Structure 1
Amino acid sequence: MGWLYLILAGLCEIFYAAAMPRTDGFTRLGPSLFCIFFIGLSMYFLSLATRTIPIGTAYAVWVGIGALGTAIYGITVLDEDKGLLRMCCFGLILAGIVGLKLVSQERSI
């Protein structure tokens, strides 16, 4: 279950990161509440994941999922740069996430 919680935490991070510009520095109520809700939910799922996944691994994967998901959002929705070097760097992040999953072992609660 730890990895499922970690994926959910990463997805929540994508939602709040993508919404953050709409908060206008947390001065707009609706987008701010949306963002705060998903920040809290992301932290909750991350805390559940760390019951069985070491914190260093969980945090790195959580950040990686958020970074890649937010980058994909930026590229597909906000028409951000899709340059080859940028894509290669994102590929390295993905390789790190997959590598951490392959070499990690969940510990029992």
Structure 2
Amino acid sequence: VIWGIAIGVAALAGLFAARAVLGSTRFTLARTLGAFVAAFAAYEALLYAFALVDGGLETFSADIVAKLALSDALWLAALLALRAVLTLAAPRWFAQAPAARAA
């Protein structure tokens, strides 16, 4: 149960880190990649800190963390590709709304 709470807290920290990088501005690939790195770092750092207290540091070897990062990066690439396809196929539903501008 305690690890479930730790994972939930780490996931929320990753979400907040990503939102801090993305802000509320327009979608760009650079911001998306920055948000990915920030979220991954926040998530792993909090889980590592919890493992220092509760045990389980062996799961944070460089090899394991690198494999997780690669897996997450591949999922991000797949989801970005899906977004691009959906934006082209159904722009009315998936295209980014134009930004509001002051007159």
TM-score (norm 2): 0.35
When Rg is computed on C-alpha atoms for both structures, the one with the higher figure is 2
TM-score normalised by length of structure 1: 0.34
Of structures 1 and 2, the one scoring higher in RCO (CA 8 A, sep 6+) is: 1
